[in-house]
Amino acid sequence: MTTIAAPGACVETITQSATPELVVVVPTFNERDNLVPLLEKLERTLDGVRWEIVFVDDDSTDGTVRALEEVCSADRRVRSVRRLGRRGLASAVVEGIQTNFAPFIAVMDADLQHDERLLGPMLNILRKDDADVVIGSRYLAGGGLGDWSNARRTMSAVATELSRLVLRGRDVTDPMSGFFMLKRSVFDAAVRRLSQEGYKILLDILASLPASVRIKEVPYVFGLRQHGESKLDSLVALDYLTLLLDKLVGRWVPVRFLMFTAVGSIGVALHMAVLAAVHHLGAPFLRAQIAATVVAIGGNFFLNNALTYRDKRLKGLGPVLLGLLSFYAVCSVGAVANVGIADFLFVQDYDWWVSGICGIVVGAVWNYAMSSLFTWRRT
């Protein structure tokens, strides 16, 4: 009779032979010329460590995909995931982490701005179990921001201050860092609560962990970008606020709905402005009200397309026109529902203002749900 090893033993053997100790997860978008230099640096600094690197690329357009093919076929430790029709540093990192079971996970940028020589010391801190998360900090003594403009320094300082809202008293000098290492067990404890919004994956992780997590920071100076350019744009502030709000209230109400209603209240202001203007020009009230409605819904469509649905933004004449039409259709039904419900409640003897608010809530929820289904559905 053949002896069959217990399942546990078998898993252990496989783990020991095939799983690296450290996985370095690197999000990329248009980083063609940085891949080889980064790999050379890792090779040098991680000598003696069983490591692997996973690039998560969001379908770069500059030839990064071809460059990834080359580096992946030259070295088995180098792997890549290609995501189509998606963007986002945070979600890219989360997906890269899921591609293996290495007990230690490093996250760093592709563009050589993070000092890879810290990886060894960071790994040793985790190995010795001196911490659960080790952060490369630009704000500790010995660290620095490199060539950042004053505007970016100020923005970063403000964002770091705001992060206290979700850090629940944890003392971290650089929770916005894109350079950190953590234990897989710690990541697993956070992963189901992550928002995965925007850039700040470390803050997202820290805010999703119990207060008992042990954090250490090591200083580094943010390097200069050699090739390619930064992907931070003006919407990064909005992404950041979305992350903070999601961490604060996302359990109870979707942040996208909050933004949708905020845009809706701008629509109300727009409506009243147009109504006043057209009515004052001498148009009959009904005509002025119709004009105001058409302008307000149109304005809301463009604001939602730019802000609320910036990740699914409709672009090009055809999609924008179709989206606009469907938004008018959705909002017309929403208006009928709003008036119908309010009238029904009022007839049932509810106060005028209760009836009115219920009508507005039903209309808003309808508009939100239906426009996310029909106007900004994922293609």
The residue ranges that bind Mn ion (CB under 5 A) are 109, 111, 113
Least Cβ distance, residue 101 to ligand GDD (angstroms): 21
Tokens of 278: 């057209």
Q: Cβ(227)–Cβ(33) under 8 Å?
A: yes
Task: Give the amino acid at 266.
Answer: I
Least Cβ distance, residue 120 to Mn ion (angstroms): 22
Our CB check for Mn ion shows the closer of 232 and 335 to be: 232
- The one of ligand GDD, Mn ion, none whose footprint includes residue 297, by CB under 5 to 8 A per kind, is none
Our CB check for ligand GDD shows the closer of 202 and 278 to be: 202
| 316 contacts: CB under 8 Å, gap ≥ 6 | none
Our CB check for ligand GDD shows the closer of 167 and 290 to be: 167
Our CB check for ligand GDD shows the closer of 232 and 357 to be: 232
Least Cβ distance, residue 84 to Mn ion (angstroms): 23
How many CB atoms lie under 10 A from the CB of residue 321?
11
Our CB check for Mn ion shows the closer of 121 and 146 to be: 146
Rounded Cα distance, 231 and 194, in Å: 22
3-state secondary structure 193-235: HCCCCCCCHHHHHHHCCCCCCCEEEEECECCCCCCCCCCCCCC
Rounded Cα distance, 354 and 308, in Å: 28
Positions touching ligand GDD (CB under 6 A) are 27-29, 31, 56-58, 87-89, 92, 109-111, 113, 176-179, 199-200, 230-232
Least Cβ distance, residue 111 to Mn ion (angstroms): 4
- The one of ligand GDD, Mn ion, none whose footprint includes residue 231, by CB under 5 to 8 A per kind, is ligand GDD
Least Cβ distance, residue 176 to ligand GDD (angstroms): 4
- The one of Mn ion, ligand GDD, none whose footprint includes residue 220, by CB under 5 to 8 A per kind, is none
Q: Cβ(106)–Cβ(185) under 8 Å?
A: no
Rounded Cα distance, 268 and 296, in Å: 7
Least Cβ distance, residue 113 to Mn ion (angstroms): 5
Our CB check for Mn ion shows the closer of 21 and 62 to be: 62
Helix orientation angle between 317-347 and 352-374, rounded to the nearest 10 degrees: 150
- The one of Mn ion, ligand GDD, none whose footprint includes residue 177, by CB under 5 to 8 A per kind, is ligand GDD
